[in-house]
Structure 1
Amino acid sequence: MGKPYKLNPERANKLLGFLELGMDINEACALAGIDKGTYFNWLKADKDFNLRAGQARAKMKAAYLANIIRAGRGNLRTDENGKTSGKPGDWKADAWLLEKHFPRDFGYLAKIQLDGEVKTTIELSNEELTERVKNLLKRKGKKLNG
């Protein structure tokens, strides 16, 4: 009798729950008691599991995005007596979203200038070198002797 199949509803739900929390695949697999390779095999072999894994990751993204949007908006309230409560919005949450969604317009652009000499070493076998020389000479219309 072969090894029992590791993908069962209990293990799948456990793993998907970890993914929905935002854990990376390595950690989620470790906590669910499977190898990362097993996870990727399941994705290929089981369309339903693949769909549910994608949904779990999408739910996690949606939840975190909603939190960031709430942070940007704040929750200031003024009651009938004019008393204000809650927190003001935080522009940094909105700025972060703009940076991530529109990096060309709002992202940080690092400008790097490299000065100096660039040296490149190419290692070729004798056969590869001979073949390249033959091709160069062929383009020039000459033959290699020997």
Structure 2
Amino acid sequence: MKLSKTSIMQLLGFLEHGMNITKSCKAAGICTKSYYLWLHQGEKDFENDVMSLKRELYEGVPLAIAGHLQRLQYLRKDGRRKDGCWKASATFLARSHPEIWGHHGRKP
């Protein structure tokens, strides 16, 4: 598959909704190997200040993932205030990013 604006937008949309890289690639019709090659080239394009679709992908992936995490964090906080239904978001955050949201040795 050739990289296009459409495939980038699809992939980033799946990532923003919390799908992992492998599943997002599959849903967008992108070979995972191609994804990593494009990401590597995008990083080089970023370092050399070259505008390209691969650079757009490289810059978009962290933003999409951050958008998903931001929504989960909001749900966790908002759920505590309203109906107490925040545990699923908190658990996902702790498991997906233990360095930030993990228990850090605290006992339950």
Q: 1:10 to 1:107 in 2, by over 3 A?
A: farther
> Residue 71 of structure 1 contacts residue 93 of structure 1 at CA under 8 Å; is this kept in 2?
no
> Residue 98 of structure 1 contacts residue 106 of structure 1 at CA under 8 Å; is this kept in 2?
no
Percent identity between the two aligned chains: 30
- Aligned partner (choices 14, 24, 33) of residue 18 of structure 1: 14
Structure 1: gaps of 5 or more residues: 75-86, 109-146
Q: Give the equivalent residue in structure 1 for 2:61.
A: 53
> Residue 29 of structure 1 contacts residue 39 of structure 1 at CA under 8 Å; is this kept in 2?
yes
1:72 aligns with 2:80: yes
Q: Which has the higher contact order (CA 8 A, sep 6+)?
A: 2
TM-score by length of 1: 0.52
Q: Give the equivalent residue in structure 2 for 1:37.
A: 33
Q: Which amino acid aligns with 1:104?
A: H
Structure index of larger Rg: 1
Residue 26 of structure 1 and its aligned partner are, at CA, apart by 1.2
Coordinate RMSD, CA, aligned:
2.9
Could you say which structure has the higher helix fraction? 2
Runs of 4+ in structure 1 deviating by more than 4 angstroms, as ranges, are 90-100
Quote the Cα distance in structure 2 between the aligned partners of 1:94 and 1:13: 25
Q: Give the equivalent residue in structure 2 for 1:79.
A: none
Structure 2: gaps of 5 or more residues: 43-54
Q: Give the equivalent residue in structure 2 for 1:103.
A: 103
TM-score by length of 2: 0.68
Cα-to-partner distance string for 1:88-118 (whole Å, 9 max, x where unaligned): x35857985789535234256xxxxxxxxxx
Q: 1:49 to 1:91 in 2, by over 3 A?
A: closer
